[in-house]
A and B are shown apart, each in its own frame.
Chain A
Amino acid sequence: ETGVTQSPTHLIKTRGQQVTLRCSSQSGHNTVSWYQQALGQGPQFIFQYYREEENGRGNFPPRFSGLQFPNYSSELNVNALELDDSALYLCASSPAYGQGTYNEQFFGPGTRLTVL
């Protein structure tokens, strides 16, 4: 069984540019969540996708957007990059979404984004 994979591993961009990060969920998982982990801090929830629909969003501006595809893989897009967007971006997949229940989230290794 393949775990959660993310690409690319590292990325360097300049201010104002746009970036797309990719995540392949674990087999059988239909829910994907994205988190931003700034240096020395805990991950912050960006948004979650369930069956190709956004299912909740954290305190991030609209220039952070996402997609989930029919195979449940996902993309995180960030427009108009700012220096503070430099962080480790983590993707996590889980088997299902259910109100009042919790299904374990499995994390990928992350994409390290540096904005110069």
Chain B
Amino acid sequence: KQEVTQIPAALSVPEGENLVLNCSFTDSAIYNLQWFRQDPGKGLTSLLLIQSSQREQTSGRLNASLDKSSGRSTLYIAASQPGDSATYLCAVPPNTGNQFYFGTGTSLTVIP
């Protein structure tokens, strides 16, 4: 059974810093990996989707990398802003069945 973990559980940084969020998965046979952000009281917003054949995906100040062999993905946020404060989750789809596997999330606070 796939297990997805995210470290750290919480992170607090001053505005302007570059930061890295980590996501690990136990079964490397994945179709893709998706990063989301969730603001308090809101739904999950898709940030980036990396296909299994890709190593990186970029959107603005966000860069996600994928290393299937080591079971890891990182989300790099450049020049962090207070508006980046949210919970970030990673998820991988199922190989069978309907259960997407979600990490437990990293709660990010960017201090002005």
Is B a genuine binding partner of A? no
